């Protein structure tokens, strides 16, 4: 296994795509001074653990600040007599903003620096929390909508900066453990999204609208001010040699025309789409079918999230023993089967609405979803490097941008299409349609990529 080499010239630094070694830490002591106390005072193993912890805490806070919006912003919108149609669009624009800016951020990470992007991203995320709090004092409904949407756009831009940077930093730092770091990040994201609404509600009960938004404003501001010093300097310096190599100029068009990368991106989209399509309709289905209060649907959402988070924790133990591409195919096919079991099916006529079956199907779907979102990143990076015959760190940045862009697209179209089909054909039909779509995609993935490679 190759290692890092240092010389008296601080620019003479070689980084292969393996592991971080002690010489890099020693160089950090000379070049960086006290800027990163974690790097200069820790052993190799401690640096590895500390960096993952820093990044995961950042993701938890980032998703908490997003999660508090779900239960609180509709309350403020109702006070200003905002129609439900406008509210849906006001929430959706966050994901639209992310889908637009994630590839842009990925393309320019090497220019602005990954640590700088994390810092400015967290500072940008802090602004909407303050804006949502101040917006509650506006009296004009139109002005409320405009400020709300601007804040959501800024929130999406900040999130795209942080998430794209985090994925790039971790995949560059731990190139042989991509599935592991992806599982850590996804577990942190799930934890943040689960804690956000709970924390927001508790803080709202104690201090009204000001408490949750101001709390997360100061938390994000604090992290934004100090996160750069917590991330080792080498996540930016490893680009020096590759950016001087003018022979490697990857483009998104080149990556997306590679069918393996395109299918991997579509796996991310399908995973998020399948996870999100029930968001606006599950409560209504539970109420009509089982005669339960809408808030009871929270337990079913918990089942989906529980399967997802448990699988994210366990899956790194065995994923490295299997092909990422085949894990994605099988997970997508199984996800399609589990989706059909959500409701009484027109295909499986023996199925009848049953709360236990629904709960078990949601848990199983959460497990399949986690595999479908963890494995594509490593697949994309490996294929990008082999197809371009390059180890340029820009490829990690751009794969991170694509990953987060398709993730955001799933968040946009999942609830939108789910709500439309639900209103026209009902819950059983949408479950059957999406289930079949997942299974067909898995078969196409196999025929287009796996089978053609072996031939």
169-195, pLDDT tens digit by residue?
Answer: 999 888 888 999 999 999 998 888 878
Q: Identical fold at 52-220 and 249-455?
A: yes
Averaged pLDDT, 161-171:
93
Residue bearing the bigger pLDDT, 294 or 131: 131
Q: Where are the domains of the chain?
A: 52-220, 249-455
- Asked whether 55 and 164 are in contact (CB, 8 A), the reply is no
List, for residues 354-388, the tens digit of each pLDDT value: 889 999 999 999 999 999 999 999 999 999 999 88
List, for residues 214-247, the tens digit of each pLDDT value: 999 999 999 999 888 888 887 777 654 444 444 4
Q: Of 64-73, 94-103, 351-360, 374-383, which gets the smallest average pLDDT?
A: 64-73
Q: Of 51-55, 148-152, 406-410, 449-453, which gets the smallest average pLDDT?
A: 449-453
pLDDT band at 98 (very low <50, low <70, confident <90, very high): very high
Distance CA 445, CA 335 (A): 14
DSSP 392-450: -HHHHHHHHHHHHHHHHHHHHHHHHHHHHHHHHH-HHHHHHHHHHHHHHHHHHHIIIII
How far is C-alpha 96 from the chain's CA centre?
Answer: 14
Distance CA 292, CA 181 (A): 39
pLDDT band at 351 (very low <50, low <70, confident <90, very high): confident
Q: What is the dihedral of CA 411, 413, 414, 419, to 10 degrees?
A: 130
pLDDT value of residue 297: 65
Q: Of 45-49, 106-110, 419-423, which gets the smallest average pLDDT?
A: 45-49
Residue bearing the bigger pLDDT, 360 or 422: 360
pLDDT value of residue 116: 93
pLDDT value of residue 36: 37
List, for residues 262-294, the tens digit of each pLDDT value: 999 999 999 999 988 887 788 778 888 888 766
How far is C-alpha 23 from the chain's CA centre?
Answer: 32
Averaged pLDDT, 113-132:
93
| Token pair listed for 92 | 């959706």
Distance CA 168, CA 387 (A): 19
pLDDT value of residue 275: 87
Residue 394 has pLDDT above 80, yes or no: yes
Percent of the chain with pLDDT over 70: 84
Helix, strand and coil content of the chain, in percent to the nearest 5, comes to: 80, 0, 20
Residue 328 has pLDDT above 70, yes or no: yes
pLDDT value of residue 178: 92
pLDDT value of residue 262: 95
pLDDT averaged over the chain?
A: 82
List, for residues 30-65, the tens digit of each pLDDT value: 333 333 333 333 333 445 678 888 899 999 999 888
Task: Please tell me the pTM assigned to this model.
Answer: 0.82
Q: What stretch of H or E contains 265?
A: helix 259-276
- Asked whether 159 and 62 are in contact (CB, 8 A), the reply is yes
pLDDT value of residue 294: 60
Averaged pLDDT, 390-403:
90
Q: Of 18-22, 140-144, 220-224, 318-322, which gets the smallest average pLDDT?
A: 18-22
Architecture of the domain whose range is 52-220: Up-down Bundle (1.20)
The number of helix segments (H) and strand segments (E) in the chain equals 20, 0
pLDDT value of residue 292: 77
pLDDT value of residue 455: 59
Q: Which residues pair with 5 in a beta bridge?
A: 14
pLDDT value of residue 248: 57
Phi, psi (deg, nearest 5) at residue 82: -85, 130
CATH 1.10.10.10 corresponds to the domain 249-455: no
| Token pair listed for 85 | 């149609």
């Amino acid at each position: 296994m190759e290692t890092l080499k240092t010389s008296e010239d601080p620019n003479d630094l070689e980084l292969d795509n393996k592991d971080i070694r002690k010489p890099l830490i020693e160089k950090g002591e000379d070049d960086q001074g006290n800027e990163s106390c974690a790097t200069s005072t820790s052993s190799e193993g401690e640096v590895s653990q500390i960096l993952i912890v820093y990044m995961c805490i950042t993701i938890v806070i980032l998703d908490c600040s997003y999660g508090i919006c779900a239960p609180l912003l509709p309350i403020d919108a109702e006070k200003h007599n905002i129609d439900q149609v406008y509210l849906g669009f006001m929430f959706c624009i966050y994901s639209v903003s992310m889908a637009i800016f994630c590839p842009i951020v990925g393309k320019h990470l090497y220019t602005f620096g990954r640590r700088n992007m994390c810092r400015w991203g967290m500072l940008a995320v802090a602004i909407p929390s303050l804006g949502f709090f101040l917006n509650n004092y506006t009296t004009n409904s139109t002005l409320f909508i405009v400020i709300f949407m601007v804040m959501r756009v800024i929130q999406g831009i900040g999130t795209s900066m942080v998430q794209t940077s985090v994925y790039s930093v971790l995949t560059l730092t731990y190139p042989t453990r991509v599935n592991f770091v992806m599982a850590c990040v996804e577990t942190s994201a799930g934890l943040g999204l689960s804690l956000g609404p709970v924390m927001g509600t508790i803080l709202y009960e104690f201090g009204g609208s000001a408490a949750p938004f101001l709390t997360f404003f100061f938390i994000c501001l604090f992290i934004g001010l100090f996160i750069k010093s917590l991330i080792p300097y080498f996540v930016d310096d490893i680009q020096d040699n590759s950016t001087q190599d003018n022979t490697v100029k990857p483009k998104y068009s080149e990556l997306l025309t590679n069918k393996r990368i395109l299918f991997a991106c579509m796996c991310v989209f399908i995973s998020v789409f399948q996870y999100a399509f029930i968001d606006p309709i599950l409560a209504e289905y539970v109420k009509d079918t089982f005669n339960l209060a809408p808030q009871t649907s929270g337990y079913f959402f918990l089942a989906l999230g529980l399967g997802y988070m448990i699988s994210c924790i366990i899956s790194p133990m065995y994923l490295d023993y299997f092909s990422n591409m085949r894990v994605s195919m099988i997970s997508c096919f199984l996800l399609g089967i589990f989706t059909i079991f959500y409701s009484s099916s027109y295909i499986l006529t023996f199925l009848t609405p049953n709360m236990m079956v629904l709960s078990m199907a949601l848990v199983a779907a959460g497990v399949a979803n986690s595999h479908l979102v963890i494995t594509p990143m490593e697949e994309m990076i490996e294929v990008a490097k082999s197809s371009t015959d390059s180890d340029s760190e820009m490829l990690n940045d751009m794969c991170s941008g694509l990953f987060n862009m398709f993730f955001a697209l799933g968040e946009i179209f999942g609830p939108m299409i789910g709500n439309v089909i639900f209103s026209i054909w009902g819950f059983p039909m949408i479950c059957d349609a999406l289930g079949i779509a997942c299974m067909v995609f898995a078969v196409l993935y196999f025929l287009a990529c796996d089978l053609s490679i072996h031939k």
